[in-house]
Chain A
């Protein structure tokens, strides 16, 4: 009987041992959720001024929209112009060294260069206004910003993460009045979620279409 395997099969055999190792390592990496590490989740971002969302949102009770005005009106939530900081800081903490960046920006008419925390890939089309209009709260995606002294990324915004809600919006949509509420209670949400999806006219069957986000 002639040999079934040629001599080259030895290399195939050795190669497959190596590849098995590679696949094993990949599986370990994926199952151990490298997302948090690769996306810097939970790491406070370096910013020109140490702005505390916790202080402004939780302790002072300022609404998200006071600074992020276009969140209901357009794709981008908006960063406040220095003028907005100056509404209060023209009278409060006017000499604080922490606010020197703000004063310099205001007096020299140059914008403050904040570092972007969440940067979606350019092939994803995301619109804040439609999410807010359909009952998705800021806190659903951005995490408990009201607890963050320095802002960090709570979620990695990977596609699988977006899909969790696009497949099952009932679990997340809130009534209109609760969208900017950091302490919304989801405990009685089971029937309400279904009702709200109906009420908002959310077309669930469309939400997972490719072109919803990739246009």
Chain B
């Protein structure tokens, strides 16, 4: 071969190497990506289900703290929160409520959220007497176990109440659930408040128009 041809061939080779880089060594390492595939298993599913008859370490139902994890105290639905609710908890609860609950329950808690407007069964308003008087443990129970009226013999329902609440335990940690319940309590207060509940020095603020930039949607 003529040396000229060698130069041309090798420069084409370099060119090809630059353009057609193979990226299968460090780019695709032999590890399973989260929720990725793994041909080692029968169904190629990298994320494995727990083996039958086993319980994950640290699972909620292995925890001993009945109040925090199951909302129960002395075998009954808890009547108090497992920890003191601070302003931070309320803000966190507000954030989580808007993300996880408001699609159905609406930001005001009246149960006319967007999903309900699109055809989902309307949930109870949080502002009915039964729920105003319900214990924190009741809300917690609905959150983790879901709700079918027939499953809660201790609670009186109207005959036409065919409400359904899916269990949402997998979406929220125990602390987040309690924060949401605390925020529901705040919502209930807010919809059932009189002028007497507003501290004297802040009453003047109620009539002020909203300032520019503080829209009601954010917090």
Residues of A within 8 A of B (CB): 8, 10-12, 14-15, 18-19, 22, 25-26, 60-63, 65-66, 69, 75-76, 79, 81, 83-84, 86-88, 90-92, 110-111, 116, 119, 121-123, 177-178, 180-181
Contact = CB atoms under 8 A, between A and B. Distances in A.
Given A63-B100, A111-B45, A181-B218, A8 B3 contact: yes
Nearest to A8: B3
A25 B19 CA distance: 11
A116 B23 CA distance: 18
A60 B114 contact: yes
Q: 10 nearest interchain CB pairs?
A: A15-B7, A63-B99, A122-B29, A76-B34, A121-B27, A65-B99, A11-B3, A123-B26, A87-B166, A92-B119
Interface string B153-196: 00000000000101010110000000000000000000000000
A81 B121 CA distance: 22
Interface string B1-39: 001100110010011001000010011110101111000
Contacts of B170: 81, 83
12 contacts: A15-B4, A60-B103, A60-B114, A60-B118, A61-B103, A62-B114, A66-B171, A83-B170, A84-B171, A87-B166, A92-B120, A181-B218
A211 B171 CA distance: 32
A90 B148 CA distance: 14
A8 B218 CA distance: 74
A88 B115 contact: yes
A209 to B, nearest CB: 19
